[in-house]
Protein backbone atom coordinates (compact mmCIF):
# COMPACT_ATOMS: atom_id res chain seq x y z
CA UNK A 1 0.00 0.00 0.00
CA UNK A 2 1.37 3.40 -0.96
CA UNK A 3 1.08 6.50 1.14
CA UNK A 4 -1.31 9.05 -0.34
CA UNK A 5 -0.04 12.45 -1.41
CA UNK A 6 -0.62 15.13 1.20
CA UNK A 7 -3.37 17.62 0.48
CA UNK A 8 -2.88 21.39 0.87
CA UNK A 9 -4.87 21.09 4.13
CA UNK A 10 -2.42 18.44 5.39
CA UNK A 11 0.59 20.57 4.47
CA UNK A 12 -0.76 23.67 6.23
CA UNK A 13 -1.76 21.60 9.31
CA UNK A 14 1.71 20.03 9.47
CA UNK A 15 3.39 23.43 9.21
CA UNK A 16 1.28 24.88 12.03
CA UNK A 17 1.93 21.79 14.15
CA UNK A 18 5.67 22.15 13.59
CA UNK A 19 5.65 25.67 15.04
CA UNK A 20 2.89 25.41 17.66
CA UNK A 21 2.68 21.70 18.48
CA UNK A 22 0.03 19.17 17.58
CA UNK A 23 -3.35 19.97 19.17
CA UNK A 24 -4.19 17.49 21.95
CA UNK A 25 -7.90 17.94 22.66
CA UNK A 26 -10.98 18.01 20.43
CA UNK A 27 -11.44 21.70 21.23
CA UNK A 28 -7.84 22.48 20.23
CA UNK A 29 -8.25 20.39 17.06
CA UNK A 30 -11.40 22.32 16.12
CA UNK A 31 -9.71 25.67 16.61
CA UNK A 32 -6.62 24.50 14.77
CA UNK A 33 -8.85 23.32 11.91
CA UNK A 34 -10.49 26.75 11.77
CA UNK A 35 -7.08 28.39 11.36
CA UNK A 36 -6.22 25.93 8.57
CA UNK A 37 -9.54 26.63 6.78
CA UNK A 38 -9.09 30.40 7.03
CA UNK A 39 -5.56 30.23 5.67
CA UNK A 40 -6.64 28.04 2.76
CA UNK A 41 -9.58 30.37 2.04
CA UNK A 42 -7.02 33.20 1.85
CA UNK A 43 -5.08 31.16 -0.71
CA UNK A 44 -2.13 30.41 1.56
CA UNK A 45 0.47 27.88 0.49
CA UNK A 46 2.51 25.84 2.95
CA UNK A 47 5.54 28.08 2.26
CA UNK A 48 3.52 31.21 2.99
CA UNK A 49 2.18 29.66 6.18
CA UNK A 50 5.74 28.86 7.20
CA UNK A 51 6.75 32.52 6.69
CA UNK A 52 3.72 33.67 8.69
CA UNK A 53 4.55 31.22 11.51
CA UNK A 54 8.17 32.40 11.57
CA UNK A 55 6.99 36.03 11.69
CA UNK A 56 4.59 35.34 14.57
CA UNK A 57 7.22 33.35 16.49
CA UNK A 58 9.88 36.06 16.26
CA UNK A 59 7.56 39.05 16.71
CA UNK A 60 5.43 38.14 19.72
CA UNK A 61 6.38 37.20 23.26
CA UNK A 62 3.47 34.72 23.54
CA UNK A 63 2.93 33.49 19.97
CA UNK A 64 -0.31 31.72 19.18
CA UNK A 65 -1.51 29.72 16.20
CA UNK A 66 -4.46 32.12 16.05
CA UNK A 67 -2.11 35.04 15.36
CA UNK A 68 -1.01 33.38 12.11
CA UNK A 69 -4.26 34.26 10.33
CA UNK A 70 -4.16 37.83 11.63
CA UNK A 71 -0.56 38.38 10.51
CA UNK A 72 -0.58 36.23 7.35
CA UNK A 73 -0.57 39.18 4.92
CA UNK A 74 1.99 41.19 6.86
CA UNK A 75 4.37 38.23 6.96
CA UNK A 76 4.39 37.98 3.16
CA UNK A 77 6.25 41.30 2.91
CA UNK A 78 10.02 41.24 3.28
CA UNK A 79 9.80 43.72 6.14
CA UNK A 80 6.52 45.19 7.33
CA UNK A 81 6.35 48.84 8.32
CA UNK A 82 7.55 48.82 11.90
CA UNK A 83 7.43 51.52 14.50
CA UNK A 84 10.79 52.99 15.52
CA UNK A 85 10.49 51.15 18.84
CA UNK A 86 9.85 47.81 17.12
CA UNK A 87 12.78 48.39 14.76
CA UNK A 88 15.05 49.03 17.75
CA UNK A 89 13.77 45.88 19.48
CA UNK A 90 14.33 43.84 16.33
CA UNK A 91 17.89 45.14 16.08
CA UNK A 92 18.54 44.20 19.72
CA UNK A 93 17.07 40.73 19.13
CA UNK A 94 19.11 40.31 15.97
CA UNK A 95 16.02 39.84 13.75
CA UNK A 96 16.62 42.77 11.37
pLDDT of residue 73: 77
Residue ranges for the chain with pLDDT beneath 50? 1
pLDDT of residue 57: 92
- Dist CA 14 CA 24 (whole Å): 14
Q: Where are the domains of the chain?
A: 8-93
pLDDT of residue 89: 72
pLDDT of residue 80: 55
CA 48 to chain centre: 8
pTM of the shown model: 0.71
Q: Model confidence over 26-50: pLDDT tens digits?
A: 999 999 999 999 999 989 988 899 9
- Dist CA 42 CA 83 (whole Å): 27
pLDDT of residue 79: 55
Amino acid sequence: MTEREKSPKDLVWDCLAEFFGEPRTKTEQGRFGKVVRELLEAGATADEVRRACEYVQRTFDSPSVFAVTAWFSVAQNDRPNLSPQQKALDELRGTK
